[in-house]
Amino acid sequence: MTAAARLDLRLNANDKSRIARAASLRGLPVATFVRDAVLRAADNVVAAELSVTLSPAESRRFFAALDKPFKPNTRLKQAMERGVARR
């Protein structure tokens, strides 16, 4: 991997020591340890934002709604007609 960008951050001495100790325990350079930890955290945040968890009751309601035939309301019909007319 070729590094193309930098990320600088400020830490207090205690935090830096904790990170250095953890990196040492893993046998990794501090930069590698920090990069891996931050990327793992970023992946978790993105996955959490892109996931939806439903309770069993919510799941049943969701699937029941999918099984019903679609019936557009008046406002949606008008909007669809305006869209077709603009072509």
pLDDT digits (tens, 9 = 90+) for 54-74: 999 999 999 999 999 988 999
pLDDT of residue 4: 86
pLDDT of residue 1: 65
Domain ranges across the chain: 13-85
**Cβ(33)–Cβ(23) below 8 Å:** yes
pTM above 0.75, yes or no: no
DSSP string, the chain: ------------HHHHHHHHHHHHHHT--HHHHHHHHHHHHHHHHHHHHH-----HHHHHHHHHHHHSPP---HHHHHHHHHHHHT-
Give pLDDT tens digits for 37-58.
999 999 999 999 999 999 999 9
